[in-house]
Amino acid sequence: MKYDFTTLVDRSELSSSKWESMKGKGRELPKGIVPFSVADMEFKTPSKITEGLKDYLTDSILGYANPSKAYYDAICNWMKKRHGYEVNRERIATTPGVVCAIHLAIECFSKADENVLIMAPSYPPFFHAVEDCQRKLLVNNLVLKDGHYEIDFEDFEAKAKDPKTTMFILCSPHNPTGRVWKKEELERIAQICLENHVFIVADEIHHDLIMPGYHHICFPTLSKEIEDNCMMCTSVSKTFNVAGMKVSNIIIPNEERFKKFWALARKWHVTSLGILSFEACRIGYAECEDWLEELLETLAENKRFVTEYIKENLPMLKTIECEGTYLMWIDFRALNMTDEQLEEFMESKAYWYTNQGYTFLESGSGFERLNIACPKWVLEEAMERLNKAIKSL
């Protein structure tokens, strides 16, 4: 490998959200415990980005920033080359993060007494956003069939048909289950939403992180009609480990909707980003594709390792096939613990600081979300710890 995916950076004093939250639990931990929660990576950000930012800072002026032509070129080239999507740069709205864009979208494209539909288990900020904006939350529970999550289309359609339902937030690839939706599934979702005048917010933040054998389809590429009825949330944050830069690119193909969204973003003053954020995003897309290729190989190997380890040593647990993202969704229900017992066991016996399944709504109860974006040896140690803890039960 040309790049370093084996060194662990000690982030315990680097204001990392996931490390701070582990420390905040106040437990005495053995040396070397690494958290596996929040979706950023324990791999160094590509040196082309960190060195590029240093170069940029030399003789620079840290004034107010606007995205440049080179910035938009980098995004559009990336989307065309990696995803076959020709993006109209006039319809890209920059926001300080995808979650911010989802809040804006709810305010913009739905009304106070209307329903917003999501799928569960769900990335928590989706339902928090719906609740914060005081819309009614409708939940379409995914169905676990033979270890594979599938969409209950009958239920989805019934909820979309409610005249009060005006928005659906799609997570593609899906966090936390790791599903990469098939074309037929996306088309069926799109069709139901079109027929029932439901606007789709497609959160595709993990779209560059696809496991071998799977193919991600950008939602707006399905058809012109569908493109007009959706917005696509993208970001370099997951792809190149720059989540702290808070830069995301929201593609809203319909002109009227784009203008409405941008007007609200201006009203709340969330259109301007930090000057380094734009540069980090530009460098990532323009110069770091080879880093991503190596990252994908590393993640595929980490997934293989965890899957095999569990199969051979802890067969009572079940891994759900991770088709995309770097998050593995693992079924611990066979341990027969309550959510509280499982959390306590994971943190105080196995020293696993993962995301607890119940925080992804009820259907996540009994599961753990493991972030595998870390050096493989860190996972090897963690699996041994978990094995020992379970054997001691």
Ligand X SMILES: Cc1ncc(COP(=O)(O)O)c(C=O)c1O
Closest approach of ligand X to the CB of residue 203, in Å: 5
Residue closer to ligand X by CB (options 115, 248) is: 248
- Using the rule CB under 6 A, is 39 a contact of ligand X? yes
Site size toward ligand X, by CB under 6 A: 13
For 73, the token pair is 């070129």
Residue closer to ligand X by CB (options 160, 247) is: 247
Distance CA 220, CA 204 (A): 11
Residue 152 DSSP symbol = -
Q: Print the binding letters for residues 239-278 with ligand X: x by CB under 6 A, - otherwise.
A: ----x----x------------------------------
Closest approach of ligand X to the CB of residue 112, in Å: 24
For 320, the token pair is 């759900």
Contact positions with ligand X (CB under 6 A) in 80-119: 97-99
- Using the rule CB under 6 A, is 45 a contact of ligand X? no
Q: Name, in order, each residue with C-beta under 8 angstroms of 99's C-beta and a sequence gap of 6 or more.
A: 125, 129
Residue closer to ligand X by CB (options 118, 314) is: 118
Residue closer to ligand X by CB (options 95, 165) is: 95
Q: How many residues does the chain have?
A: 393
Closest approach of ligand X to the CB of residue 279, in Å: 17
Closest approach of ligand X to the CB of residue 195, in Å: 26
- Using the rule CB under 6 A, is 205 a contact of ligand X? yes
Residue closer to ligand X by CB (options 93, 99) is: 99
Closest approach of ligand X to the CB of residue 11, in Å: 17
Determine the distance from the C-alpha atom of residue 36 to the mean position of all C-alpha atoms in its chain, rounded to a whole number.
Answer: 14
In sign, the C-alpha dihedral spanning 170, 176, 182, 188 is negative
In sign, the C-alpha dihedral spanning 159, 165, 166, 170 is negative
Q: Name, in order, each residue with C-beta under 8 angstroms of 23's C-beta and a sequence gap of 6 or more.
A: 12
Residue closer to ligand X by CB (options 43, 123) is: 123
Among 45, 140, 235, 249, binds ligand X (CB under 6 A): 235
Distance CA 283, CA 14 (A): 23
Closest approach of ligand X to the CB of residue 114, in Å: 22
Residue closer to ligand X by CB (options 14, 29) is: 14
Closest approach of ligand X to the CB of residue 113, in Å: 26
Query: Within 10 Å of residue 386's Cβ, how many Cβ atoms?
Result: 25
Contact of 85 with 226, CB cutoff 8 Å: no
Closest approach of ligand X to the CB of residue 35, in Å: 14
DSSP string, 276-310: HHHHHHHHHHHH-HHHHHHHHHHHHHHHHHHHHHH
Contact positions with ligand X (CB under 6 A) in 137-196: 171, 175
Q: In sequence order, what are the beta bridge partners of 186?
A: none
Residue nearest to ligand X (CB): 97
> How far, CA to CA in Å, does 10 sit from each of 20, 33, 42, 60, 220?
12, 10, 9, 30, 40
Which residues sit at the interface with ligand X, rule CB under 6 A? 39, 97-99, 123, 171, 175, 203, 205, 235, 237, 243, 248
